[in-house]
Amino acid sequence: MTLHEWTALVGAIAWPVTILIIVVLLRRELVRLIGRVRELEGPGNVKLAFDSQKIEEVLEEVKRGTATSKALAARLEKSLRQPHRQHHRTRKRADFPV
């Protein structure tokens, strides 16, 4: 391999390796942060709300081996059909001059 090929290879793997090192070093903090997520918003007005109590119930069923994939899918479908209470929070926005 020439020097140019080596630099191209190092350049191609530098960012993925950097991200991997950061994730490994901060894994405990990332797990705690993910555990605190209660709601996600995505493109196309997609909103996902997480109920930690229900998640714990499902995890316990999975640990005990009493949850089948069919039962979990039915439970998810049922929860998607039920209307959820909306939590309205007022967000303060700063108006910046353009």
Question: Which residue matches tokens 């090192």?
Answer: 21
- Count Cα atoms within 13 angstroms, Cβ side, for 25: 6
Whole-prediction pTM: 0.40
Give the integer Cα–Cα distance in Å for 10 and 17.
10
Please check the confidence at residue 48 and state whether its pLDDT lies above 60: yes
> Are 38 and 50 contacting, i.e. CB atoms less than 8 angstroms apart?
yes
The structural domains of the chain, with segments of one domain joined by +, span 11-38, 51-82
- DSSP reduced 3-state for 81: helix
- The 10s digit of each residue's pLDDT in 50-94 is 777 777 787 788 788 887 878 878 877 777 666 555 544 444 444
Q: Looking at residues 40-48, what average pLDDT do you find? A: 80
